[in-house]
C-alpha cells in the first residue's frame, strides 16, 4: 500500500486529495492546524491518519517527523498555503502580512520537505510535490498586481527547483504543480473548475515516475508551465 502525506488536508484541494487517495487504497497521512474542527477530513473513508501540524511551527514539524520516522512516504504533497490580503496593489501593501505569506508559502514548505526527506527516500515512488500557482510564473504575468501572492509563489517555485537538483542523487523527484483556478475558499465561486477535476488531474500528473517529474512546473492537465 503506497503512502501519501498531505499538508493543509482539512479543506479545499488538500481535503479532496486526502479523499481521493484514501478511496483509491492509499495510506493517507493528513495534517492540518486544527484536527478538532476538521469534520470533513475525519469523515474520509479509508486508511487516514490525522495529525495536528501548523507548518509555521518548526518544532512541531520536527516532532511530527519524529513521530512518523518509520514511515515510507511515497508522495509528500506540500499543499498548505495562503493568499494573503486582497487587494495587493501599489499604495496599499501590508508588508507585515507579506512576510507572513512568505513564511507560509515559501519557507515553511521547504522546512517540511527537509524534515521528511528520509521518509520519502525510503519509499518506492520518492516524489515531493508542491502546490503552487501559475501566478508565480514570470512569463505568465501580463496583468501585474497581486504582489504578495505572486512573489510568494515565485519564491516557492525557486525553492522547489533548487530542491529538485539537491535531491536528484537520492532518486527523489520534486515537482511544482498549478492546480488550475479552482472553486475553493481561496479560488472563489467564479473559478473555472471544481476541486474534483483539479485533484483528478493532479493525481494523473503524479502517476509519472519521479525522474520524469523532477524540476518541472506542471499544470493540472499535464502541460508544462514556463517559469
Grid coordinates given for 71: 514511515
Q: How many CB atoms lie within 10 A of CB 33?
A: 17
Please provide the size of the chain in residues: 227
Q: d(Cα 114, Cα 58) in Å, to the nearest integer?
A: 11
Q: d(Cα 99, Cα 84) in Å, to the nearest integer?
A: 10
Q: d(Cα 103, Cα 214) in Å, to the nearest integer?
A: 24
User: Please, what's the largest Cα pairwise distance for the chain?
Assistant: 52
Q: d(Cα 52, Cα 199) in Å, to the nearest integer?
A: 23
In the set 21, 83, 95, 147, the catalytic residue is 147
Based on the residue annotation, tell me whether 147 is a catalytic residue of this protein. yes
The dihedrals phi and psi of 47, each to the nearest 5 degrees, come to -85, 85
Active-site positions read 147
Amino acid at each position: 500500500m503506497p503512502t501519501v502525506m498531505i499538508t493543509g488536508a482539512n479543506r479545499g484541494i488538500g481535503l479532496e486529495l486526502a479523499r481521493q487517495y484514501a478511496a483509491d487504497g492509499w495510506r493517507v497521512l493528513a495534517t492540518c492546524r486544527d484536527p478538532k474542527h476538521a469534520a470533513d477530513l475525519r469523515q474520509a473513508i479509508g486508511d487516514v491518519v490525522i495529525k495536528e501540524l501548523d507548518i509555521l511551527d518548526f518544532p512541531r514539524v520536527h516532532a511530527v517527523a519524529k513521530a512518523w520516522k518509520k514511515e515510507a512516504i511515497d508522495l509528500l504533497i506540500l499543499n498548505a498555503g495562503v493568499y494573503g490580503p486582497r487587494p495587493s496593489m501599489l499604495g496599499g501593501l501590508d508588508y507585515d502580512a507579506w512576510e507572513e505569506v512568505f513564511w507560509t508559502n515559501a519557507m515553511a514548505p521547504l522546512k517540511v520537505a527537509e524534515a521528511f526527506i528520509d521518509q520519502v527516500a525510503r519509499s518506492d515512488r520518492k516524489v515531493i510535490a508542491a502546490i503552487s500557482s501559475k501566478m508565480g510564473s514570470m512569463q505568465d504575468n501580463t496583468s501585474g498586481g497581486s504582489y504578495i501572492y505572486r512573489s510568494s509563489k515565485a519564491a516557492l517555485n525557486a525553492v522547489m527547483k533548487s530542491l529538485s537538483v539537491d535531491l536528484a542523487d537520492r532518486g527523489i523527484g520534486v515537482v511544482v504543480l498549478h492546480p488550475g483556478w479552482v472553486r475553493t475558499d481561496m479560488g472563489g465561486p467564479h473559478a473555472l473548475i471544481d476541486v474534483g477535476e483539479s485533484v483528478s488531474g493532479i493525481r494523473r500528473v503524479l502517476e509519472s515516475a519521479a525522474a520524469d517529474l523532477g524540476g518541472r512546473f506542471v499544470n493540472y492537465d499535464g502541460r508544462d508551465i514556463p517559469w
